[in-house]
Amino acid sequence: MKKIDFSELKVIYINCTLKKSPQESHTQKLMEVSKAIMTKEKVKIDEVRLIDHQVASGVYPDMTEHGWDVDEWPEIAERILNADITIIGTPIWLGEKSSEAQKLIERLYAMSGETNEKG
């Protein structure tokens, strides 16, 4: 059986833990299992621990255009768009995703109005 080549694929892992680096994160430990599989398959890996970045709250692509002094989201969004696969990891608190995961979802929504060359 011919082995499939995944070496041209890029994945971005977005860890929505509430713990800043370098604190231990159970979410990170779980993501490491998946990353090991991706590494074995030679998939290119990028990682973001969202809480380590100054990502403004809001639903626009760049919140500095809406009163925020700093918003690192545009750079993170570019990394997401450059990936073939996006994996989101979040702890579950009382049956709900973390507030960082909610912020990520809202910022991803901000990108929903963007189109590619095909519209």
Question: Domain containing 47 — which CATH number?
Answer: 3.40.50.360
* pLDDT at 119 > cutoff 80: no
Tens digit of pLDDT for each residue in 60-99?
999 999 999 999 999 999 999 999 999 999 999 889 999 9
Residue 71 domain-assigned?
yes
Tens digit of pLDDT for each residue in 6-24?
999 999 999 999 999 999 9
Residue 35 domain-assigned?
yes
Residue 4 domain-assigned?
no
Residue 57 domain-assigned?
yes
How many domains, the chain? 1
Tell me what pLDDT residue 18 has: 97
Tell me what pLDDT residue 2 has: 86
Pairing outcome for strands 10-15 and 44-49: parallel
Residues spanned by the domain of 22: 10-113
d(CA 41, CA 23): 28
Tell me what pLDDT residue 92 has: 94
Residue 3 domain-assigned?
no
Residue 88 domain-assigned?
yes
Tell me what pLDDT residue 1 has: 83
Q: Is 37 exposed, middle or buried (0-12, 13-18, 19+ CB in 10 A)?
A: exposed
Average pLDDT across the chain, whole number? 95
Which of 1 and 29 is assigned the larger pLDDT? 29
